[in-house]
Amino acid sequence: LNWLIRRKVPRGIAVVIVFLAVMVGFLGVGLLLANAVSGFVEAVPSYKDKLDGISEALVRLLARLGLKRPPKEFLDGIEPSSVLDMFTVAMGSLVSVLSQSLVVAFYLVFLLLEASRFRQKLVAAMGPKADTSAMDRIVTDAQNYVGIKTGINFLWGMLVWIVALFFGLSFA
């Protein structure tokens, strides 16, 4: 926001631009997730076949080792329907997170509207001799922290994605 304001973009328009950028980001993430969900739903039948093959192989392995057949509850635990139930719960949680993120985005608009006036309000409340250097240092430190944290999280996400691709995980 400050970057836009320094480039002589009116404050109201700058807030709208930042808000639209955040919304485009949310839309992009939503589209990526929708695509992943669609692909997962299409792949469920092949996962069912793979799970059936794994459970049959497990039963044969246990029989060769002289062990009894695993309890029915164990085999039921790897049924595709239970995987789909977990998927449904995960999608419900995801929708909840996205809706909460939308509320945060609206808070962001109001914070952005007041951010550039905060120093003026502080000086008006404390008087013209108010020392704002501590506040400037706090803001700079907070911006540096958020930047570093964002970079580290991005790199960590990329590393996890690369490892998932290396192991051949679908929908990495």
pLDDT at residue 73 is higher than 60: no
Mean pLDDT across the chain:
78
Pair 70, 58: CB distance under 8 Å: yes
* Rg for the chain, CA atoms, rounded: 26
Taking only the tens place, the pLDDT of each residue in 133-150 is 877 788 788 888 988 998
Q: What is the mean pLDDT of residues 27-45?
A: 78
Phi/psi at 37 (nearest 5 deg)? Answer: -65, -45
Cα–Cα distance for residue pair 39/33, rounded to 1 Å: 10
Residue 75 has what pLDDT? 56
CB 72, CB 4: distance < 8 Å: no
pLDDT tens profile 104-121:
877 877 777 777 677 778
What whole-number distance in Å separates Cα of residue 52 and Cα of residue 114?
A: 58
Q: 0.75 exceeded by the pTM?
A: no
22 or 158, higher pLDDT: 158
**Rounded (to 5) percent helix, strand, coil in the chain:** 85, 0, 15
